[in-house]
Amino acid sequence: MKRSVCRAVIVCVVPYAFAVNVAVAQSAGSGESRKDKSPYDELTKVPAKASAKHNPLESDPDAVAAGSKLFEMHCAECHGADASGGKKGPNLRVAEVQQATAGSLFWVLTNGVVRRGMPVWSRLPEPQRWQLVSYIKSLPPPRGK
pTM for this predicted structure: 0.74
Q: What is the pLDDT along the chain (145 residues), one digit of tens a residue?
A: 556 555 544 444 444 444 434 343 444 444 444 455 788 999 999 999 999 999 999 999 899 999 999 999 999 999 999 999 988 999 999 999 999 999 999 999 999 998 889 999 999 999 999 999 999 999 998 876 5
Count CA atoms closer than 13 A to 83's CA, side-chain side: 24
- 41-138 is a CATH 1.10.760.10 domain: yes
Please report, to the nearest 10 degrees, the dihedral formed by the alpha carbons of residues 94, 98, 102, 105 taken in order: 0
Q: Where are the alpha helices (DSSP H) in 2-141?
A: 2-8, 14-34, 48-51, 63-74, 76-79, 95-98, 102-111, 126-138
**Count of residues making up the chain:** 145
d(CA 134, CA 142): 17
